[in-house]
Structure formats: C-alpha cells, structure tokens
Structure 1
Amino acid sequence: MAGKKPNIVFILTDDQGIWSLGCYGNHEIRTPNLDRLAQSGVRFQNFFCTSPVCSPARASLLTGRIPSQHGIHDYLSGGNGGCGQEAIEYLRDYRGYTDILAENGYTCGLSGKWHLGDGRKSQKGFSYWYSHQKGGGPYYNAPMFREGEPVNEKGYITDVITDEALVFIDKTKNRENPFYLSVHYTAPHSPWVNCHPEEYMKLYKDCLFESCPQPPPHPWAKTEVLDGYKNSRECLTGYFAAVTAMDHNVGRIMIKLEEEGLAEDTLIIFSSDNGFNCGHHGIWGKGNGTFPLNFYDSSVKVPFLVSHKNHIPENRVCDAMCSGYDFMPTLLEYLGLKNEEADNLPGKSFLSSLMGTEGEKANPVVVFDEYGPARMIRDKRYKLIHRYPYGPDEFYDLEPDPGETYNRIQDEGYKEVIGRMKKQMELWFLQYADPRVDGSREPVMGGGQSFLAGVLGPGINVYGENK
C-alpha cells in the first residue's frame, strides 16, 4: 500500500460461532453494528480457526504459526501471570505481526484478553497494554492488569475494554505514524446467567431461539462442564445478550473513528478466536466441549469481516477457504510489509480473494486444523478428522450432509478420497510441524496447558485432566 499506512483496529471476540450474527443469517440475534460493518466491506463465509480453543488459535493469528510450531496446544490454564499464576511468556521466541508493525512505525495497543502468557507484561511490539489477568472470568469485577498492576474492574468488562480502546485512540490519533489497536473482548464466553446488563437480557425475553436447536447431548459431550445442558434458555439468553452488548461496543468504536475523521484511514477487522456450540450437534462448548475433541464446523468456523472505506470492496461476500494461519501474511501484504520468515510458515495471503481479484485455482484450497493429537483437513466438500494414535476418525461429505450428521469413515465409496486427504494432511504437517512441539505427540485432553510444550521432555503430561 503506497503512502501512509492505514490505522488498524482488530476486534476479536471469545467463543463466538459464525451462526451468531445477523449478517451471517441469524434472524433472532441483534447485531446491527456488525451487520453495518459487513455491509461496508467483505464478509468471509469460510474462515476457520487454527485450533478450536482460544490460546492456540490466538497464538496462530498473531504469529502465523500452527500450534505444532508455536507449542501452545490448549487454553492456558497456567503461566498467565495473574490470579496467583506464575508468569510464562509462551511466545517469547516467535515473531508476531505486531512486532513487524512496531518495527515499521506503528504504535500498537492492546485492550482486553491476551491469554498467551505473562499478561502483566507488554509483549510483541505493544506499547499500550490493558490485559486480562487470566483468559476469562466474571463480567463484573473482572481481574485485569492496568499499567502492569492487578485490578478488579467494577464495571461491565465489555464496556471497560471499549473505554480503554477509546483512550488509546485519543492518545494516538494525531500522531504522524499510524496506530494498531487490538480490542479483545471476553464476550460472549461464559458465564451467561445473571451477569449481563438487563437492557440486553430483556431483548431476548420472548426469543424462540430457533437458531440454537437443543437435541439430546452428543455421546461425547462433557455435560458436567457447562450449564447449557440443564438451563439452555437461561444460558442462551445470556449468550445472545453478551453478543449484543459487544455489538453495541463495536458501534462505539465505529462512531469514534467516524467522529474523529479516521474512518477512511482505518482498516477494521472483526473475528473470533474459535467457534462455539450452543446446543448445536448436542454440544455446549467448542472443540473441548466433547472428548474426543471435536472439529464440527460450528466449533472451527468463525466470523471474519474486513472493512476499509474506499479501499476494500463494499457489501461483498467471499467464499474462499481461509484459515487463521493465513491472517498474518494477508495483513502484511495489504500493508506492503515483508516478513523474513514467510517461507517457513504455512499461511498464504488471501488478499486477492479479499479484493475480489482472484482467478480460478487449479487445485482446490484446503484448510487444516489441530487440537493436540487430533487433526482435520477440510475442503469445500469433504472433511476428514484423524485422531492419533487410535481414533476414532470421522469423514463427512458436506455436499449432501452439510450438518455433519453421517460419519462416512467406513464407507467403501469414499475410500479413495479418504486416503488422498489423509496423505495430503500427513505431508502438510510433516512439512510444517516442529518435532519438539508436535501436537500429535502431546497428551492434550482439553483441560488446559500449564507449561511450555516440549520443555519437560517427551511423555511428560503438562496438560489438565479431561474436565
């Protein structure tokens, strides 16, 4: 991009399924500001997280590396530096795109969830730092770090995260160099019941919640973890309220940019770390909502909206297959910045898809996903899930079965395509996985990670129990 680089606002939510936005077809949930953002730019229909749980997915967005390269394989239950935890800087040895932005004159600010270790300490090129002490928690009295000191915020944390983001914009708006702002909400992560402002809760008093069917629990569901199995209506009300409250705050940021005359100079990106099931497939939760860990589209597909007034096409829908590990190379190409490590990273820029200039591709694009010893390969029609070392494995033909209802792994009619996709997946991970932190060798059960992967040696379980 010639001339002065644009400001960037990257808004990331926590546990938000692609189904939970009006612009993605949900007729019940109220997200007017995000719907307006989608109309002003490009809405991606097939954007996938790199792992269906928060910390590894966020680390991949930041570094362009898959979990089997950066070593964060589960949500970080330890090492966050707050609430009595020790401080581990998990990504100390890996460059993030914010490092590159800072090196090229950007002033980088974070407001909200970090959950990548040592949350007290500003990292990765950030000079403004307001972060969560852990990865989630209550919406009132949330444990945060302000200027490196632990505080409990009395206000509604979605509002407070936005307040801090607006402070950062005020501090940097008149500087000669551009700013980058990460606004990382904890919404709509649990808890949901009796913890959101009444003005949002009452919007869903009479909602039928047709967008969230409640079939019997999945055979693998961890029904003891979330209240949705027992109190689905109360939890749905809270989840929807959390989304709408977050949407209101996104509107506050958009209005601020417009009032300050920054809208045309600012690239706005909205996404979530991973998907979420609110009863979908008989599951409440994400990839670790079941054991074995799952890769349903509702767990791995996330919203992805991009807008830059007069620079990016408006009101456009993109069907390209993209992943979180493609985000870093795309952003850097859009900005005209180089990454010296690009050749060793798996991601490819989807800028041509974003701008609507892509041509026909000779080979179908696939995306890969991993969660510890479980891996997924997915193209527009087929999905294969392989679990090391013993399975169970799954295969879905999404053309006749978009709801992923029928596991065809034993179907002889799909034997050839299953074999081809399995080989393709094995070769891809062989090319990019670092043997020192290869997730297929780690006993990840979905109960959290508390130490650096690979540091304690092979076979040492640094992951939480399945709970």
Structure 2
Amino acid sequence: MASTDPSRPNLVLVLTDDQGAWALGCAGDPDLRTPHLDGLAERGVRFTKFFCTSPVCSPARASLLTGQLPSQHGVHDWISYHHAGETGQDFLAGRTQFTEVLAGAGYRLGLSGKWHLGANDVPRPGFVHWYAHESGGGPYYGAPMFRDGVLEHDPRHLTELLAEDACAFVDAEAGRTPEGPEEPFALCLNFTAPHAPWAGQHPERWTDLYRGRELAGCPQPEEWHPWSYLDDGGVPLAAAGDPQESLIGYYASISAVDEAVGQLLGRLERHGLTESTLVVFTSDNGFNCGHHGIWGKGNGTFPQNMYDTSVTVPAIMAQPGRVPGGRTSDALVSAYDFFPTLVEHLGLDHPADPSLPGRSFADILAGGDGAADGGRERVVVFDEYGPVRMIRTREWKYVHRYPHGPHELYDLAGDPGETRNLFGSDEHAGRAADLAAELDRWFARYVEPEHDGARLPVTGSGQRERIRPGTGPGAFAPPYPGVRPVPYPPLGEA
C-alpha cells in the first residue's frame, strides 16, 4: 500500500498550465472562487514570489523536472513537433529528472495529464501509470490522450477526466498489498487548464460563476502593450477577439481545477494519507489577462517579456504535521530550487550536483523564514527565454536582451507594477551595469555552451528540434505567420 509514514511521504504534484500567481482567491483576486486551493494554503505554506525559470511551458516544465536552466537542458521554447508516434522524440533524454530519482528510491510513479516534452506517448522510467496528452493542449472535450501507449478520445471535459484518473490511481495505490514494506507513490497531476482555448470550453456550472460579473480583479486596459501580437481588430491574439469572454473561460477553468483538487484531497483523506503525503500545487509559468496591456505569457509580446505576472506562479505546499500551516512566504524561490527541495524533504539519498543552480528551501517548508540555506540568503532569482535574460532581487529587476536590446531596469520597491523603465538614465547607469555583470557571471557559471540560448533565434513561436551542435537556428519556428507586433521602441525608452 501507499506510505503511511510522514517521514517518507507520498508526493502529489499538481501542475497547472498558464496560471498566474495572482490567479487564486487566496492571492487576492476578489472574484476568483478557489475554496479548495485556499483551504490547502491554510493547511500549508503559500509562496508569494515563486518564479518559473522561463515564461513558457515546455522549458519551464523541463527545468522543474531537471533542476536545470533552459541553457543546460536545451529546451528553450514550447515544443511544436515530435509529440508522439514514430516521429516522437524525448527532449530530455539523458537528463536526470526528479521522477527518476524517486523511482530509484522505491516510489511508484503516475502521470495524469500534460507532459509536453516530446514522445508524450512513451511512459518515462519508473512510471507504473501513464495517461498523457498527445501534445501540449487543445480543446477540452475529446482531447487526445495516451493511456499506457494507446490513444483514446474520451468526449468528456478533460479536467474532469484527469481528476477521475488521478483519484483512481490513488485508490489503486492505497489498496495495494505489497509483499515487503510500504511503497510510497508520486503522482503528477498535470492539467492543461487554464490554458486556452476558453470560450465555449467549460460547463456552465463553472462559467455561470463569472458571467455577468465585472471581474474587477482583471480590468482590461484602454491600450494594449506596444509589443503585443494583435489581430485585425486590434485585440491581442491570445484574447481570441473577446477579452471578457476569454476571461470568463480562464476563471472557469481555474474553478474546475479547484473542484478537481478538492476531489483528490478528499480521496487522500479517505485513505488516511493526508499526513503522509506532501501536496504541491503550482503552475508551469505565469499569465497576463490584461496585465501590462498583455494577453499571454512571455511570448504574449515580441520581444518576449519578463514581467512578474509572466514569471511568477502560484505555489502551495502542504503536509500536516511536517509543514506548519497558515503561512505565506515572500522568499524569492525558483522552480530550479524544487528538485533539491524534494530530495531534502523526502529524505532521498541523492548527492547534490554542483552543476545545478538551485538550492533547497526545505527549511521554509519546515517552518523557517529562508534566511538559513547554508549561509546564503535567497534574494536573487534568474530567468531566461532564449536571448532574453533576467535578474531579480527584492528591490530591482534587470532584463537583458541579446544581442541588441532593448534592456529594462525596474525599481520594484518604488514601482512594483513595472511601469517605468529606468534603463538608460544616468542616475541608474551604475546599478544597471552591476546587475548586468552579475547576470552575466551567473549564466556563465551554469550554461552548457552547446545549449546556450543567448544567441538562438527564439521568437516564442515554438521549438521543433532538440538543440544540438549545428541545429540551433533551424530548431525554432518562424514568427507567427502574417502577424507582426507593433515595432518596439529603441533601446532605453519605456
């Protein structure tokens, strides 16, 4: 059966798709209804400044699994080809993933949902259950799903299907009778929600929660960001021609996830596994629903943006008895810190890898404030999206775009909304130079040259091939056909 030992807990990782850190009721949105996730936050710790490593799905997921940067594992954009079948390719082949470490420690692994790292039909090592989306997303009804290598098209709503599948996995693991000691399980419940499409994609019991409401938490701007991809009607492409209707669908899809999480938590409680299961809820990357005049994430603009709304994600971690509840932490932590944190909290015998940039924040899970961490305060995080790189401290953010810019500098203490780009001002030239130098040193320390994204033509339109010597430029899709963003201002202008 599953583990009933809190010191060797089961793991449930719930990963959503394109959910901003702001998009939870407990994060302050006045309209969004997420009672089960709000309750999970009350039972654990909610991180208010948890950063993805790249503001787009595939590289962010690859970094969460490996603890590596995109310029180490070589996934720099969302994967647009080699999804399944004869042409399927594993984009992380040869890269150690935390799932493999769990399997080596005796965990039984299950996947319900999105993988989106190539060869999605092929169960990865250690997985005893594999129910994976064929690609990376799409319509919620009749989604193409591989169940242990066999393609299925169930007509029901995908979020409900994934909840049903995940609960069945927990039931099966709880009911197993092993010949030896208890065997913990690790479940990856990877929703495609709240990713587009939105309009007409969700049952009325969820859309009716928001229809006819002002949804004041996400006011739509009078003008769109000048770097946005716009349709013929002057509306961002991601908003599908109707920002209000898309917002209703976005909110509804999150409430659907909340309901699913409630079902799964109830199943853990029914089997007496609540105290012996670490539950993690997070997302691959952030999202803007009108924030900064953008609909979308990092590739909602060109050049790609690094606004906090694009690079911060919700993050809740709970295990009653081991993770003191009712807390929020404003420590700056990143998805590249997740791998070593799991190793420490789960008590896995896995040596630290000096080539990985992350540091464990298990001390925060245990009730600390994050100041210990081996004498290193966690005050700096880094992000990248192809040739766009970011360094962020508590008070400042610097964004560098290779090779020509434009670059950005924000005083987050005085301008938390990132509305005034201070790059190019004489007053802040020294600070910009210092941050740029620190950014350069950090990436120089960790980047694998053959996977370095700083000179790659990553446009946000998709990645077709694994990055290998000689294949870099051809690995990326061209910009969105027939659509051009408004020309961005010259270097130094806001």
Q: Same fold (TM over 0.5)?
A: yes
Aligned pair partner of 2:439 in 417, 422, 425: 425
The answer to whether the aligner puts 1:116 opposite 2:130 as a matched pair is: no
The change in CA–CA distance for 1:10 and 1:233 in structure 2 (over 3 A counts) is same
Shift of 1:227: 5.0
Aligned pair partner of 2:27 in 21, 24, 49: 24
Tell which deviates more after alignment, 289-298 or 340-349.
340-349
Q: Which residue in 1 is equivalent to 2:491?
A: none
Shift of 1:380: 0.9
Q: Which residue in 1 is equivalent to 2:284?
A: 273
Measured against aligned partners, the alpha-carbon deviations of 1:6-32 in whole angstroms (never above 9, x if no partner) come to 111000000001111011011110000
In the aligned structure 2, how far is the partner of 1:364 from the partner of 1:333? 17
Letter of the 2:432 counterpart: I
Letter of the 1:106 counterpart: Y
Tell which deviates more after alignment, 281-290 or 2-11.
2-11
Q: Which residue in 2 is equivalent to 1:212?
A: 218
The answer to whether the aligner puts 1:465 opposite 2:478 as a matched pair is: yes
Q: Which residue in 1 is equivalent to 2:100?
A: 99
Q: Which residue in 2 is equivalent to 1:192?
A: 198
The answer to whether the aligner puts 1:70 opposite 2:73 as a matched pair is: yes
Aligned pair partner of 1:182 in 170, 188, 205: 188
Aligned pair partner of 1:317 in 313, 328, 334: 328
Q: Secondary structure at the match of 2:384?
A: strand
Shift of 1:354: 2.5
Q: Which residue in 1 is equivalent to 2:173?
A: 172
The answer to whether the aligner puts 1:131 opposite 2:142 as a matched pair is: no
Alpha carbons 2:45, 2:325 under 8 Å: kept: yes
Q: Secondary structure at the match of 1:68?
A: helix
The answer to whether the aligner puts 1:90 opposite 2:97 as a matched pair is: no
In the aligned structure 2, how far is the partner of 1:449 from the partner of 1:391? 22
In the aligned structure 1, how far is the partner of 2:90 from the partner of 2:376? 42
The answer to whether the aligner puts 1:437 opposite 2:489 as a matched pair is: no
> Runs (4+) of structure 1 moved beyond 4 Å?
1-4, 360-364
Aligned pair partner of 1:334 in 333, 339, 345: 345
Alpha carbons 1:318, 1:354 under 8 Å: kept: no
Shift of 1:316: 0.4
Q: Which residue in 1 is equivalent to 2:159?
A: 158
Measured against aligned partners, the alpha-carbon deviations of 1:77-133 in whole angstroms (never above 9, x if no partner) come to 011116xx8200111110101101100110010000000110010114322100000
Aligned pair partner of 2:59 in 49, 56, 59: 56
Q: TM-score, normalised by structure 1?
A: 0.96
Q: Which residue in 1 is equivalent to 2:9?
A: 6
In the aligned structure 1, how far is the partner of 2:300 from the partner of 2:188? 27
In the aligned structure 2, how far is the partner of 1:71 from the partner of 1:249? 33
Alpha carbons 1:106, 1:178 under 8 Å: kept: yes
The answer to whether the aligner puts 1:400 opposite 2:414 as a matched pair is: yes
The change in CA–CA distance for 1:125 and 1:21 in structure 2 (over 3 A counts) is same
Letter of the 1:464 counterpart: A
Q: TM-score, normalised by structure 2?
A: 0.91
Letter of the 2:340 counterpart: P
Measured against aligned partners, the alpha-carbon deviations of 1:431-453 in whole angstroms (never above 9, x if no partner) come to 10000110112110000001011
In the aligned structure 2, how far is the partner of 1:141 from the partner of 1:249? 18
Q: Secondary structure at the match of 1:302?
A: strand
In the aligned structure 1, how far is the partner of 2:125 from the partner of 2:225? 40
Shift of 1:408: 0.3
Alpha carbons 1:42, 1:317 under 8 Å: kept: yes
In the aligned structure 1, how far is the partner of 2:61 from the partner of 2:470? 23
Q: Which runs of 5+ in 1 are unaligned?
A: none
Q: Secondary structure at the match of 2:189?
A: strand
The change in CA–CA distance for 1:455 and 1:79 in structure 2 (over 3 A counts) is farther
In the aligned structure 2, how far is the partner of 1:3 from the partner of 1:293? 43
Shift of 1:362: 6.6
The change in CA–CA distance for 1:456 and 1:152 in structure 2 (over 3 A counts) is farther
Q: Which residue in 2 is equivalent to 1:302?
A: 313
The change in CA–CA distance for 1:227 and 1:336 in structure 2 (over 3 A counts) is closer
Q: Secondary structure at the match of 2:278?
A: strand
Q: Which residue in 2 is equivalent to 1:33?
A: 36
The change in CA–CA distance for 1:124 and 1:296 in structure 2 (over 3 A counts) is farther
Shift of 1:350: 1.0
Alpha carbons 1:220, 1:290 under 8 Å: kept: yes
Q: Which residue in 2 is equivalent to 1:235?
A: 246
Letter of the 1:171 counterpart: A
Letter of the 1:188 counterpart: P
Measured against aligned partners, the alpha-carbon deviations of 1:235-263 in whole angstroms (never above 9, x if no partner) come to 01110000001100000001111111111
Alpha carbons 1:373, 1:440 under 8 Å: kept: yes
Letter of the 1:186 counterpart: T
Alpha carbons 1:138, 1:191 under 8 Å: kept: yes
The change in CA–CA distance for 1:279 and 1:305 in structure 2 (over 3 A counts) is same
Q: Secondary structure at the match of 2:169?
A: helix
Letter of the 1:399 counterpart: A
Measured against aligned partners, the alpha-carbon deviations of 1:262-307 in whole angstroms (never above 9, x if no partner) come to 1111110000000000111110000000000000011000000000
Q: Which residue in 1 is equivalent to 2:484?
A: none
Letter of the 1:246 counterpart: V
Shift of 1:462: 1.1
Alpha carbons 2:160, 2:260 under 8 Å: kept: yes
Aligned pair partner of 1:43 in 46, 63, 66: 46
In the aligned structure 2, how far is the partner of 1:464 from the partner of 1:441? 15
Letter of the 1:141 counterpart: G
Shift of 1:457: 3.7
Q: Secondary structure at the match of 1:203?
A: coil
Shift of 1:461: 2.3
Measured against aligned partners, the alpha-carbon deviations of 1:135-172 in whole angstroms (never above 9, x if no partner) come to 00000011111120111121100000111111111121
In the aligned structure 2, how far is the partner of 1:245 from the partner of 1:363? 37
Shift of 1:454: 2.1
Q: Secondary structure at the match of 1:303?
A: strand
Q: Which runs of 5+ in 2 are unaligned?
A: 177-181, 481-494
Shift of 1:363: 5.5
Q: Secondary structure at the match of 1:43?
A: strand
- RMSD in angstroms over aligned alpha carbons? 1.6
Tell which deviates more after alignment, 245-254 or 1-10.
1-10
Letter of the 2:398 counterpart: L
In the aligned structure 2, how far is the partner of 1:266 from the partner of 1:359? 26
In the aligned structure 2, how far is the partner of 1:272 from the partner of 1:435? 28
